[in-house]
Structure 1
C-alpha cells in the first residue's frame, strides 16, 4: 500500500500561468491529464486533494471508504463493514443515516447522483476511476457546486491511461470475493474504448449482512480532430445488500455480530434492478489555451427495500451542463476566467407498504410522487497580480424547485410525510473571494477564501409535519497552506462556517418519543482543522525506503444559542479523527507495513446524553509488485487486535426518550488476499 500523495509530490508544480497542458490533443485519464489537474488544483484558494489509483490498489478496497479515509477533512465509514459508506465533508449531511448529502458526486464533472445532491456512496466505485478529486466546500465552484461539503469527482480511466488487459481477484474471510476484468484499446482511426466488469460478494461478519454488487462500466471516445473529442460513458449496476441494522452499545461491546432483532425478523434488505447511468461529454480546445465542454447525463434507479416497512422506489434524473475556460493576458498579467451553466431535473415514485413478515394481507400505506429541478450559473476569475500572487473572485446562482404529492392510502400512510400536494421554490446567490500566494521554495503556498454555500432540502423531505423547510445557508472562512516534495509535504487548512437553517432533525412537538422529523435549526457553527503530512525516508543500511502519510481531522460542530440545546455538540461524528500509514518499499518490489486508525468518542444525540466510545485499530498489509507491474499479490489484515467498536451511529435527537439501538459495529478482525495480473 502506498501512502496518500499531495498535490506537490514528485512534480515541480509551481504555477506560472493558467494555460491548460495539451499533449497530442485531448487525452482524458493520461499522466499528462493528471499533471494538468494537479497544477490546476493548486490555483484554487482552498483545500483540495487528489488520490491516484496507484495509491490504493496495493491493498483491499471494499469501497470508497478505503480511499477517502486517508484524506483529511473527509469522514467516511462503512457501517457494519459493508461496501457502502457514510460520507461527510466538513459536517455535511450529519443527520443522513447513510450515503451522502450536501456533497456533489461527479464523474468527469457530470453528476452521478440525484439532481438534489442526495447520493449513495456505493455509486462511487474507486476502481472505476483513474484518480479521484476531492473539493472541500467552495473549492467545488469550478463545477458549479455551492454546497457545504463540496464535491467528489471521479476521473474516468480510458484506453490511454489503462491500455491492455487487467485481471484482479481478491478474497477474504466471511466468504468475501471480488473479481474484476478490465481492458482498454486504442484504434488507429481516432477511436478508443475502455471497459470494466466486476463483482463483489460477501456474507459479512454480522447476521443478515450479506452483500453483492455487480458492475459494468465502459467508455468510448472518438477524436474528431486534435482539438475535438467526444466520450460516451455507460454504467450498469446491480446491488443486493442485507441490512443488519443498528444495535445497542451493550450488544456492540459483547457480541457485534448480532443483528437488530427487527431487521433480522424482516430479513431487511435493499435490492436494485440494474441502475443505469449514461453520459456524454464533448471537449473542444479553442485556439492554444481555451477549452469548452458540453455534457449531458441520464440516470435511472429502481430498488425495493424492506425493514419495518416495505418500499418500492423508481427514479429518473437527467441534465445538461456547459463549462468554458478562457486563458488570456490582462494588462500584462495572466488571467483565467471560467464560467458555466447546468440544468438538471429528476422525478421519483415511492410506494410504501406493509412488510412481508406482518400478519395479514398486503397493504399499501402511501404513494409519493416527487419532482426536483435545479438551474445553476457560475463564474470564477483568477487574476495573477504578480507571478507569486493570484486573486480569485467568483459567484454561483441557484434556482431550485421541489414538488411532492403524497397519497396517504390508509390512516398509517401519513406518518412519514404529510398527505397532499406541496411545492417550494428556492434561490440563492453564493459569492466567493480568495487568494493564493506562492511564498517561496518547496512549492509552498498560502491560501484563503471567504464564501457562501446554499443547499435546498431534497425533493421528498422538504415538506414535513412542521411545514416546508428552508434552504440551508452558510458563510465559510478558510485559511491554509500546502507545499513540500516527495521527502516531506504538507496540507493544512483551518475553517469556520456560520450556518443558518441547517438541515437536521428535531423531536415532534409534545411527543419526544416519536420518530424525529426533518427540521431547520436556526443557527449552528462548524469549525474544523484538516492536516495532511506525508513523506519518505531511507532506512540506513537496509535497502529501500519507508513512505508515511498522516491524515488528521478536527471537527468542532455546535448548536449556537439554541433554545432547546444551547451550545451542545452536534451528534454523529467524532471530534478527532486520524489515520497514519507506514509502508516499507524494497527495491525488488516487496512492500509492507501497518496503518493505524484513531477516533475520539462522540455524542450520539443532540441532547448530549449518550456517547459513543472512541477507538484505535491496527491494520497491516504485506505484498509484492513484479517489475513493470506484470503482477502483484498482497495480504491485508484488518483490525489485528479484534477490537469491538462503533464505526458510526444513527442520528438521534434525545437518547432519554428514544431506543438506544443506534450503534453500527466496525469490521472485526479479518484477512484479505489479492492477485492482480496485467498484460
Structure 2
C-alpha cells in the first residue's frame, strides 16, 4: 500500500473542473472526523522506514504556517532538468524555465514578481543543506539544476525563520544526497526533443564512521528558439564523518560550468505565428561556479544541539559573451557563517518549551562588474559592490499551552549593508543620481504564530509576521547607466491562516494570506535589447501595495485494490491578487508579472509491480505585463502524459515523459514595461511546443 501526499492549495477556481471543485469541498466537509497526523507535503510513503523527506516533513509540522517537502526521488521518475520540474504542483509557487534552460522565473507569494529572465531569482532565500546559496548579489540560476538533491523544503514567507530568511517569499532549502541515503553506484541517461541530453554518474557509500557521495553530470540542449543552445557540466560531492554520538561533520562541494544562449522576447503575434524567432540572442557563460561548505553538529548532554556552518560561494559570469554590444564580466565571491542552537524538552512556567537561536551572515568578499566594448575592447565602466552584507540574528520559541495548542513566537534583528560605487566610467553623469551609494539599515522582524489541533486529523494554524527584502547589489546600478540609485529594503506585514490534515482518501491543506507591502522593489524595462544596444532595466521602491492570495492542495486516493495498485489525484490551486494601494499614477492597478490563477493536476495509475501511467495538466490565467494594465500575456492550458516502470528490486527504471500534448503556443514568462499603451510589443518568452523526453536509470 502506498500513499502520496502534497501540500495543497484550496480555492474557488474557475479554471478547475466541476469535479475538481467537488473534491476540494470534500476536504472541508471532512474536517469533523478524527484520525492521525496531518500531512504537509509532497512525499511518497513506501514501507516502514522513514525517508529523509519524511523526517523533514515531520519537523516542518511544528511550523505555524505553510510549508512543503518535495521528495526529489519522485520527481526523478520523469524529466528532472530544472527547478520548474521540482517545484511543479506546489501551490503558491510559480516556477517556469525559459529557453528550456536553468534560467527559471521562481516566485512565492509574488516575491520578485517582475524579476527579469536574466538568470537571477529575487525575493526567496535559497540554501543547500542549510547553507546559503543566496547572497547580497542574489541567486545564480546555474546552481538550481537540482542535481543530486534528496528532497527540497519549501517554507513560505516568515515560516522560513529557522534559516534566517526574512524575505516575502521565504526560503527553499535543497538537501543533498549522501553516502548514507544513496549507497552504491548509479547511472542515469535522458534524451528528448530539441536536442536535450543529460548524463549522470554517481557513487556513494559508508566506510566505518565516514561516508561519501560523488556525482558528475553533463547536460546540453539545442533549443527550441533559433540559436538557443545550452550546455553544462558539474560535480557534486560531500563527505561526512561521525566522531562520536555527540559530534559529526560534513563537507560539501558543488561545482558547475555552463554556457547558454537565451532567446529574445517576442510579440504576441510572433508568439502565435513565429515562436522560433530570435533576432537578438543573448549569451551567458559561467566558467566554474563553486560552492564549498561544511556543517558541524554537536549534541550536548541535555540533547540541545549546536550547528556551525561555513560557506564560500564563487559565481563568475561573463554576461553577453555572444552578441551583446557591451559584454559584462561579473565577479562575485561570498563568505557566510551560520550558527543554530536548538533546545527541546525545556519547561517555561511549567509548560513544555522548545527554543532556538540562529545567526547568519553573508558578506560579499569580492563583488564587481566591468563592461567593455565588443568592437574596440575598451573598458567602459566598472562598478564595485565589495563589502555588501546581510546579517540576521533570531530568537524563537514554541510553547505548548495545552494538549492541543502551541504558541510560536520570535523576533529577528537584521543588519543590511549595501555598497555600490562606480569606480570608472566613460559616460558623463548628467542625472540627479550619485555615482555611489553606501548605507547600513537595522530593523526588527517579529513573528507570532498559533497551532491548534482541531481533531486528531486536522490542525488549524495562523501567524502574523514582518518581512524585509533588501535590494540585491546590482539593483542599485551596474553598467547600463553612469549613476547609482539609492534603492532601500522592501518591508511587509503579513497575516496568514490555514488548515491542514486528512481523512480517509483525502489529505491536503488550505492557506490564505495578506501582506501589506511598503517600498516594494519593482523593476521595469527602460530600453529593450536591440542589435546595437543591450537591454536596460531600472529598479526602484514603489508605493504601497497589497499581496494576498489562496494556496490550496488536495491529494485523493481514488481507487486501491488489495495488491496495492491504485489511482491517485493530486491538485494544486493558487490565487494571486497583487495590486497597488492608491498609487498616484496607477491607482489600484494590478501588479504585472504573474498569472492571477494557476491550477495544476496530476492523475496517476500505479501498479505495485512498478508500472505507472500519468496524465497531468497546468492552466494559467492571463496577466498584465505593464503597470498601466493595457497589455496582457495570453492564458494557457498545457496537457502532459508520462509512463514508466520501476523494477521491484529498485535496480533500474525507465520512463517516457511527454509535455504540451496539444502543441499550445504560450508564454512562460514576460518582461515588465511601464505603459504599453495597449500596443503589442516584444515582451513574451515562448514556451516549448509538444516535446518528449525519455530516460533510464540503473543502480548497482
Same fold, TM exceeding 0.5?
yes
Specify whether residues 555 and 223 from structure 1 end up closer, same or farther in structure 2 by C-alpha distance, changes over 3 A only: same
Cα distance in 1 for partners of 2:4, 2:82 equals: 17
What is the match of residue 554 of structure 2?
533
User: 2:452 — aligned with what?
Assistant: 437
Shift of 1:7: 6.8
Select which of 380, 404, 410 maps to 1:394: 410
Q: Which of 176, 180, 183 is 1:160 aligned to?
A: 180
Asked if the contact 1:426/1:456 (under 8 Å) is kept, the reply is: no
Q: Distance between the aligned counterparts of 2:503 and 2:144, measured in 1?
A: 29
Paired residues for 1:463-478 under 5 Å: 467-478=485-496
Q: Pick 1 or 2: higher relative contact order, CA cutoff 8 A, min separation 6.
A: 2
The structure 2 residue matched to 1:90, chosen from 102, 109, 112, is: 109
Q: Is the 8 A contact 1:106 1:154 kept in 2?
A: yes
3-state DSSP of counterpart to 2:542: strand
Residues of 2 paired with 1:67 and 1:338: CA distance? 30
User: In the alignment, which of 368, 381, 385 is matched to residue 397 of structure 2?
Assistant: 381
2:31 match: none
Partner SS state of residue 468, structure 1: coil
2:507 matches 1:489: yes
SS of residue paired to 1:139: helix
Distance between the aligned counterparts of 1:221 and 1:201, measured in 2?
Answer: 31
Q: Return 534-543 or 556-565, whichever deviates more.
A: 534-543
In 2: Cα distance, 1:417 partner to 1:171 partner = 53
Native 8 Å contact 1:552 1:579 kept in 2: yes
| Structure 2 residue corresponding to 1:127, chosen from 140, 147, 151 | 147
Match of 1:670 in 2: 691
2 CA distance for matches of 1:633 and 1:106?
A: 30
- Aligned 1:205-284 pairs, distance under 5 A: 205-259=224-278, 261-263=279-281, 268-284=282-298
Q: Output the CA distance in 1 between the equivalents of 2:431 and 2:86.
A: 35
Alignment partners' CA distance in 1, 2:431 and 2:557? 54
Deviation for aligned residue 1:362 = 2.5
Tell whether 2:317 aligns with 1:298.
no
**Would you say the 8 A contact 1:228–1:284 is kept in 2?**
yes
Cα 1:562–1:373 shift into 2, 3 Å: same
1:370 alignment partner, one of 371, 374, 385: 385
Contact 2:37-2:456 within 8 A present in 1 as well: no
Given that 1:407 and 1:419 are in contact with CA atoms closer than 8 Å, whether structure 2 keeps it comes out as: no
Matched residue count: 646
Shift in alpha-carbon separation, 1:439–1:645, aligned structure 2, 3 A = same
With structure 2 as the length reference, what TM-score do the two structures score? 0.88
Two-structure CA RMSD over aligned residues (Å): 2.5
Could you give the per-residue CA deviations for residues 280-300 of structure 1, whole angstroms, max 9, x where no partner exists? 110112235321100110011
Contact 1:3–1:548, Cα closer than 8 Å, also in 2: no
CA–CA distance in structure 1, aligned partners of residues 558 and 95 of structure 2: 29
Unaligned runs of 5+ in 1: 16-29, 509-513
CA distance in 2, matches of 1:352, 1:415: 20
SS in structure 2 opposite 1:101? coil
Q: Cα gap change, 1:289/1:388 in structure 2, threshold over 3 Å: closer, same or farther?
A: farther
Q: Deviations over 1:571-593 (max 9, x none)?
A: 01000011100110012211012
1:422 aligned onto 2:437 = yes
SS in 1 for 2:99: helix
Equivalence for 2:342: 325
Please tell me whether the aligned partners of residues 579 and 598 of structure 1 are also in contact (alpha carbons under 8 angstroms): yes
Where do residues 351-366 of structure 1 align in structure 2 (5 Å cutoff)? 351-354=370-373, 356=374, 360-366=375-381
Offset, 1:13: 4.0
Whether contact under 8 Å (2:360, 2:391) holds in the other structure is yes
* CA drift at 1:4: 6.4
Q: Secondary structure, in 3 states, of the residue corresponding to 1:124?
A: helix
Partners of 1:152 and 1:431 in 2: CA distance:
21
Cα distance change of structure 1 residues 247 and 417 upon mapping to structure 2, 3 Å threshold:
farther
Matching residue within 38, 46, 66 for 1:47: 66
Question: What TM-score does the superposition give when structure 1 sets the normalisation length?
Answer: 0.91
Does residue 65 (structure 1) correspond to residue 80 (structure 2)? The answer is: no
Q: Distance in 2 between matches of 1:666 and 1:462?
A: 31
Instruction: Report the CA distance shift for 1:521/1:132 in structure 2 as closer, same or farther (over 3 A).
Output: same
Which residue of structure 2 aligns with residue 334 of structure 1?
Answer: 352
Separation (CA, whole Å) in 2 of partners of 1:435 and 1:131: 27
Q: Which runs of at least 4 in structure 1 moved beyond 6 Å after TM superposition? A: 540-543
The separation in 1 between residues aligned to 2:132 and 2:4, in whole angstroms, is 25
Q: Distance in 2 between matches of 1:436 and 1:320?
A: 31
